[in-house]
Structures are given as structure tokens and as C-alpha cells.
A = this chain, B = another copy of it.
Amino acid sequence: MKIIIEKNFEAMSETAKNILLGHMSQDKRVNLSITAGNTPVGVYKRMVESVKDSPDYENVHYYNFDEIPVAGQKEGVTITDLRKLYLTPANINEANIHPLTVENYAEQDKRLAMDGGLDAMLIGLGGDGHFCGNMPTTTRFENLTYKLKVTGEEPWFEPGMIDVGLEFVTMGPVSVMRVKQLILIVNGEKKAEMVKQVLQGPISEEFPASVLQLHPNLTVILDEEAASKLDK
């Protein structure tokens, strides 16, 4: 594991963008899996500047790694968010976007293998130690991409997040370990304890992201606040 500590959110975003653009600038098909949410907003803002309307990145393909369907909508929460934050403003060709859905999840790992594997994946860290859709109490380290029906009894369940009885999908720990470079970005004091827990504590399904310590090429980019509780 390589930990890079940056001054603030902007510097963290800049470094993450650099790593992604580094991959994208190669003379080969490049497969990226990227995260929705608030943490990557600064990364995507910068990437859009380089990628928008550029013919230089037509070799890059995009995959989401989890999805929550929305009743009455064609596309789910994650891909909708990714379109808004990055894919639409960067004007990415639809042929380069490969949505993971509740319908096609069982083919995700095979599809990725057939496409040559993921070169890089950008992920965030949940305040409860989750990564992708791998939540405390419902994560098994031996999982590939899987589907989970929400019962409302999960300790992480919050009303409004997802309706009880709905199913969501996520790439599991085994799927994520196959990514050639994994980039974890975390900012803010609120996550400092969890950063220490998952990066320096025991590997345990109780804190799913602790399994990332086993990844052979993990780059963690933290702002100073998120890094403040780490042992030197």
C-alpha cells in the first residue's frame, strides 16, 4: 500500500486525476471503474477539462462498480450520478460506457475478463468502513460481483437510501482485487478514525475496506484531515 497525504481536498483531487490521466494516456485500451458520490467531485471537474471533446482518450472505457435501481427509472443511482458528474460533461461516447445493472451483474466479472480487465478503479471509503457496495455485516470476502436484497434490518440501513425489498448490486472483494491499480481517496476529519481502522487495523469483514490492505497495488490519497489519526 502506498499512502499519499495531500494538504487538502483540491490537492487530493489533483493527484487522483493525475494517476487516472496517466493510465488513460497509454497506447492501448484502458478500462476504468469510477465512483459516484461527493468525494470524487474535484477529480471529475479536473478530468472533464482534459477529456471533453478530445480525441485523445477514445481508448478509455468506463465501468461502474455498483448500482442501486430506482423505481420507474431506466437507469440507477450510480450511473445517473456518474453521467451527471463526468460522463456527460466530458462528452464520453456511449459505446465506451458499460453500465453494471441488476439485470447484467451475473456477467460482470466474465465481461471484465473478456475486455482485458480493469486497469484502474477509483473508490471512496464509507464512514462505516464500506467500499463499493460492500457493507458491514453483508460482505463476504470470497464474493465476486453479487446482488443483495435489502431487508431493512441491516445495521447500515437508513430510510430513504434504498427501499426495503429492493435489490442492489456491487462488485465484491474478489472482483476488486483483480484491478491492476486501486486508488482510494478520502478526505475530511470525520473519516480519520475509519481510515486508521481499515488501513492499520485487522482485516475483518466487520470493516469491509480493511480487505484492501491485501491489494497488490493500492494507492491511498488522503487529505491531511483524513490522515490525522494514522500511526506514523
Partner-B contacts on A (CB < 8 A): 1-5, 15, 17-23, 25-29, 50, 56, 59, 113-117, 140-142, 173-174, 177-178, 181, 201-203, 210-211, 213-219
Contact assessment for B27 and A1 in the assembled complex, using a CB-CB cutoff below 8 Å: yes
Q: B217 and A214: CB pair below 8 A?
A: no
CA distance A209 to B128 in the complex (A): 28
Does B25 lie within 8 Å of A18, measured CB to CB?
yes
Q: In the bound complex, how far is the Cα of B130 from the Cα of A97, in angstroms?
A: 40
Kindly list chain B residues whose C-beta atoms are within 8 Å of the C-beta of A178.
216
Given the known interface contacts A15-B50, A59-B2, the answer about A214 and B26 at a Cβ–Cβ threshold of 8 Å is: no
Give 3 nearest A-B pairs by CB, closest first.
A22-B22, A116-B116, A2-B27
User: How far, in Å, is A226 (CB) from chain B's closest CB?
Assistant: 15
SS of A interface (majority): mixed
Q: Are A15 and B21 in contact (CB under 8 A)?
A: yes
Stoichiometry, copies per complex: 4
Inter-chain CA distance A215–B21, complex, in Å, is: 20
User: Are B29's CB and A25's CB within 8 A?
Assistant: no
Max count, chain B CB within 10 A of own CB: residue among A1, A4, A25: A25
Which chain B positions have C-beta within 8 A of A27? 1-2, 216-219
Smallest beta-carbon distance A223→chain B, Å: 14
The answer to whether A56 touches B174, judged by C-beta atoms less than 8 angstroms apart, is no
A18: chain B residues within 8 A (beta carbon): 17-18, 21-22, 25
A197 shortest CB reach to chain B, Å: 12
Query: A214: which of B23, B59, B177 is its contact (CB, 8 Å)?
Result: B177
Alpha-carbon separation in the docked complex, A17 to B50 (Å): 14
Option from B113, B177, B217 in Cβ contact (under 8 Å) with A215: B177
A230 nearest CB across to chain B (Å): 13
